[in-house]
Structure 1
Amino acid sequence: MPLSKNGFTLIEVLFSLAILMVIITFFAPSQMTQLNQLKEKQFFELLKYDVLYIQSRARMYENERVLIRFYADEYRIIEGLNTNEVRPYPAGLSIDTFGKREIYFNSNGTVIQPRTISVYGINKTYQLIFPLGKGRFYIAEI
Structure 2
Amino acid sequence: MASYVVMEPPGRAGNGEAILVRDGFSWLAFFFSPLWLLWHRLWVEALLAFIVLGLLSALSETAGLGLAGSLLTLLVSLFVGLEGQGLKIAALRRRGWRESGVVEAQGLADGEIRYAATLEAQPEPQAPALVPDAARARPIHTGMALGLSHNPGRV
The interval holding the TM-score normalised by the smaller chain is under 0.3
TM-score, normalising length: structure 1: 0.24
Of the two, which has the highest radius of gyration?
2
TM-score computed with the length of structure 2 as normaliser:
0.23
| Structure with the largest fraction of helix | 2
**Which structure is higher in RCO with an 8 Å CA cutoff and minimum separation 6?**
2
